[in-house]
Amino acid sequence: KQWYQRRVRADGDHLTLANMRSNLELNQLSTNTSLLESYEDPNVVQCVHLPWESASESGLSAFVPEIILGADILYDRSCFPDLVRILAILLNRRKSVSSSRKESSKSFTLDTKCNTNDLNDLTAVTSKGPVAYIATVIRNIDTFNYFLSLVEQANLSITDLTEAKMPFNLLPYMQSYDRSNMRLFTVSSKA
């Protein structure tokens, strides 16, 4: 049984969205570009165009995330104000933990690859409200500090999980990469 009810993939670049759809379809998942319909089918993933610079609060009303994932999005400081604005809008939406959500998380089945403590950690974090996980490489400390200052101004909290949630060395070619600048953060509302 699935733990989630709806999955949305968003990007501001049409070519990236087309690539996402293609990858999802290669993995036998259906895609849809409409946010107006609600999907509980685990085989349907919504892929929507979401340019940060033009997204409005009313335009984001269709998004009610529990978890936001971002990968390698902290490199262009000119995009940070819009990124942080969108994160603040989405993360400040307090969603009550309904009994149906509690039931769906109780029905989640663990397999041998999943650690029960990891599931409990994730459930505990999301029960407090939406959370964003951002994986990034810190290329320039001044650029990263600028992002941190915007996060603080937006009344958001950021936590570095890198040491606590160190990834496994499962892929041999990954061992040749310098991972000292790779970081994993959570961003959440302070409210």
Q: Tell me what pLDDT residue 100 has.
A: 36
Strands 182-189 and 156-160: antiparallel
Give this prediction's pTM: 0.74
User: If DSSP codes are grouped into helix, strand and coil, which group holds residue 73?
Assistant: coil
Residue bearing tokens 């397999």? 111
Q: Which pLDDT value is given to residue 72?
A: 87
User: Reduced to 3 states, what is the DSSP secondary structure of residue 57?
Assistant: coil
Pair of tokens at residue 130: 């939406």
Give the whole-angstrom CA distance, residue 101 versus residue 3: 9
Q: Which pLDDT score is estimated for 93?
A: 77
Q: How many alpha carbons lie under 13 Å from residue 44 in its C-beta half-sphere?
A: 12
Q: What is the mean pLDDT of each run of 10 residues along the chain (191 residues)?
A: 64 89 86 63 79 89 86 91 95 55 34 40 59 91 95 95 72 63 90 77
Residue 166 to residue 135: CA distance in whole angstroms: 12
